Chain A
Amino acid sequence: MSCMKRLCHETRSHDRLRRTLAVCLRLSRRLLLKMSEERDAAALSGSAQTEGEEDLFVSAMESPEAARLSAEDISPSSNGPKAEPMLLDDDPDDLFAEATEEVSLDSPERQPILSDGPSPVITPVTPVMISSRADVFDRSPDQDEDEEENRDTFDIQISVSDPEKVGDGMNAYMVYKVLTKTSLSIFSRDEVCVKRRFSDFLGLHSKLASKYMHMGYIVPPAPEKSIVGMTKVKVGKEDLSSVEFVEKRRSALERYLLRTVKHPALLKDPDVLQFLESSELPRAVSTQALSGAGILRMVNKAADAVNKMTIKMNESDAWFEEKQQQFENLDVQLRKLHASVESLVCHRKELSVNTASFAKSAAMLGNSEDHTALSRALSQLAEVEEKIDQLHQDQACADFYLISELLGDYVRLITAVKGVFDQRMKTWAKCQDAQVMLQRKREAEAKLQHANKPDKLQQAKDEIREWEGKVQQGERDFEQISKNIRREVGRFEKDRVKDFRVVIIKYLESLVHTQQQMIKYWEAFLPEAKAIA
């Protein structure tokens, strides 16, 4: 990393510690914590846990000698996960400069982050990080995080397959095989296979949302219900559209699970483990749209919407304001992009149909042609076009399953992200309400001071203490959710770069494949065309 050396020379007179910390920061690929995302700090990938990072940070403070990293120490990581996208910035200097700016250890934003330990609900993989702290500085922190990445993405594979119809008529439902292969210790076996139905997935999501959303975690949304789609399946139509529907759903369910376990906290959640491992699962009745729980959900949603309009939050943290705006914009943009891709899928299917239609017509023309060689060539042309029609169909599938579905997933994810920001607002409002209440209690107490009612006075004092506690709790909650959101957003931003890249790579592969086939088909036809005499 020659640019790092450059930084060491070019930065102004910062003390050595700061410089080293800047380097640490750069290498540890901090996820969030930035006030303003001017540069693509999050370009650096790797799913380092914030807590782990903090530990790195803290330990670096304690032992600056150990933290002395130079370009030579960083040996190229030997890991080879393809899913590990290490992005390289195009302007390392700026990043370093900015990194050094960031490293103001006295900044108030830093303090709560440094002082907080891992939240009790989340049990990230930090224990490993902490224990190997000594190792961290011998080898590249990249490697460490890559291993974690390894652990997350490679040591667990989930597939949803073999849709099977159970039952008859309107009570029928599809059952999917969920196969989990993993070497993670939290799982009881290496390989588990269970059968789940759609409402089970919805139930899982519902539980996770109720547990984690209010803390600011971005819980991946479950695939959407479709009454029309399911009815066709139930009724037993074996036509193309219901087959496509089942495949679409199967794929969506698989992506849903993969996204859920990619979240370090959710991976450890007992409900998730139970979903993946236990052979019997209590039926999630409350996911039905028209159930009591369903109606309650709708009512709550409406109430939330009203509240959102009435809460006017004093945003002290520009980061949140900016991020919220960004997500609003992204929402609009992704929807537009999604619509364009859906149009592509549609037109590609049309192209396939029209090519097949032309193929038939060319065959008829060949039959009608009385010149023998030309007749044969036209028939061959018809055959080529038929094969190409199949290629178009395959390409349309790739268009859809790779790009269109990814965008659909992200549109839904953004809704979840926005939801998390709303939760923070609610938490703030609760905190505000508690403060108002406290104020009132204090005023009441002040009045009672002159009223000579000793027992009431005592009660008032008790109430004041109670509400002081609540205010403190509210402030803590708010800080916690703010911190969680920053981390979650950073993780989200890093993941999306990865997700999109993986999809584009696969898409390019599909294109290369179709072009390869096309070349083959046309090269076989060329001599036929030349043979027309």
Chain B
Amino acid sequence: PHPRCFQESGSWFLTTTPLVRSVSVDLNNDASLVIDIPDALCERDKVKFTVHTKTTLSSFQKPEFSVPRQHEEFIWLHDTIVETEEYAGLIIPPAPPKPDFEGPREKMHKLGEGESSMTKEEYAKMKQELEAEYLAVFKKTVQVHEVFLQRLSSHPIFRKDRNFQIFLEYDQDLSVRRKNAKEMFGGFFKNMVKSADEVLISGVKEVDEFFEQEKTFLLDYSSKIKDASAKAEKMTRSHKNVADDYNHISGALNSTAADNNTAFKKHLEKYAEVFEKLRKLEDRVASDQELKLTELLRYYTRDIQAAKDLLYRRARALADNENSNKALDKARLKGKDIAQAEENQKQCLQKFDKLSESGKKELTSFKARRVVAFRKNLIEMTELEIKHAKVRRLKCCVYHYMFTRQCSGSHGKPGNMREF
């Protein structure tokens, strides 16, 4: 099933038939709440996702409904969940990154500028490439927004979140304000605190071996996966550059053929065809590698960060717990406010225990989820690589045969190059 993308009056409309989302697996198993993004619309800078819900839960007003949502509204949802104290012991699904149409937009600009200097064929070809690029960016951004929602819907606690319901159901604009200066500053401050947290995590004495191991693992893994994700991106970029070069070579061969009127002309046109085929195949390799490998690594870089955030919160709770113990001892010593201190200590301990318990569960299922996703994607990527290599080999063999056949004695036959 392929997404279809067509243009209506300057905007891009994407419909997707249900694609298997492979970045996180088995997210739509529970039929009681099924969410997907069947289509999206890109108007100028804004992308409007159609969020479609099917549910048997009574908490919703209707069994099936769709709402349009923009990226900012996803971010609002993510932030409200992060800020919910109750969810401190859970891994919060990472926010989807902003849709980035910068690349195709630049190309579109160039296309518009250079329209007069291009031949009709060149223009049509570039337009086609542009559409393909838009489609690729579209696919990626839809996938990543969809997975975010599906992570929430498949989690026993998040799916019951009131804001999540509003997000899915409320058919008016959520009027998500742009963050004002105070909030932005607040966010910055939060980040600062977070990096202090990292010191905190490493500094805090860990009694629980499970968490000790997780901490060591996550701290190391997060830097490694970030690096791998960046390197995979560079590799994909190089593939795209090679495909681009094949494209230019094909074009240059065609131009040379156009100026020629000897036997050479037909050969050049054939060679141009070869390079055009090579280009298409290289493009496919690049985009498949991107979806299966680069996107996978990018996603899990974000997810690992979410897991780390959980550790921070727990470490904070541990620190709070220790502080409350100290405060209680102090109060007992002073003989003042003992009840308050006891209450405080009890609450801190409760919180810490709750966080530890749910944290353990979350981190264990996180690992399982990660392993499954890697397995699926690595298998799919390998199968695609094999497929593409076989196709490329076949095509090259065909052309090779074609060109060598002209050499060997086909005397006596009024061969027709067209028949090839």
Seen from chain A, the residues whose Cβ lies within 8 Å of a Cβ on chain B are 1-3, 37-38, 40-44, 71, 74-80, 82-90, 92, 140, 142, 326, 329-330, 333-334, 336-337, 340-341, 343-344, 347-348, 350-351, 354-355, 357-358, 360-362, 364-365, 367-371, 373-374, 377-378, 381, 493-494, 496-497, 500-501, 504-505, 508-509, 511-512, 515-516, 518-519, 522-523, 525-526, 529-530, 532-533
Contacts and interface: CB of A to CB of B under 8 A. Distances in A.
Nearest to B251: A340
A525 B416 contact: no
Contacts of B234: 354, 357-358
Nearest to B413: A88
Interface in B361-420: 367, 370-371, 374-375, 378-379, 382-383, 385-386, 389-390, 392-393, 396-397, 399-400, 403-404, 406-418
Query: B interface, how many residues as a size bin?
Result: 35 or more
B238 interface: yes
B274 interface: yes
Given A87-B406, A493-B262, A504-B403, A336 B414 contact: no
B260 interface: yes
Given A80-B408, A333-B252, A497-B267, A3 B414 contact: yes
A42 B263 contact: yes
Nearest to A373: B371
B393 A88 contact: no
Contacts of B378: 377, 381, 529, 532
B138 interface: no
Interface of B: 213, 217, 220-221, 224-225, 227-228, 231-232, 234-235, 237-239, 241-242, 244-246, 248-249, 252-253, 255-256, 259-268, 271, 274, 278, 367, 370-371, 374-375, 378-379, 382-383, 385-386, 389-390, 392-393, 396-397, 399-400, 403-404, 406-418
Contact of A364 (B224, B248, B261, B393): B224
Contacts of A509: 400
Given A358-B235, A361-B228, A508-B396, 19 more contacts: A1-B412, A2-B414, A38-B261, A40-B263, A86-B406, A86-B411, A88-B410, A89-B414, A90-B418, A354-B235, A361-B232, A362-B228, A377-B374, A500-B267, A508-B397, A511-B396, A512-B393, A522-B385, A529-B375
A348 B243 CA distance: 10
Contacts, number: 231
A31 B367 CA distance: 73
A368 B400 contact: no
B223 to A, nearest CB: 9
B246 A142 contact: no
Contacts of A367: 224
B411 A333 contact: no
A369 B411 contact: no
B264 A350 contact: no
A504 B274 contact: yes
Given A333-B255, A371-B371, A505 B404 contact: yes
A511 B281 CA distance: 12
A340 B249 contact: yes
A501 to B, nearest CB: 6
B411 A350 contact: no
A409 to B, nearest CB: 16
A82 B278 CA distance: 25
A340 to B, nearest CB: 4
Given A40-B265, A334-B256, A493-B263, A350 B367 contact: no
Contacts of A493: 262-264
25 contacts: A40-B265, A41-B263, A77-B409, A82-B408, A83-B407, A86-B411, A142-B411, A337-B252, A340-B245, A343-B248, A347-B241, A351-B238, A354-B237, A354-B238, A361-B232, A364-B224, A374-B370, A493-B262, A511-B278, A522-B382, A522-B389, A526-B383, A529-B379, A532-B375, A533-B375
A220 B299 CA distance: 57
A370 B379 contact: no
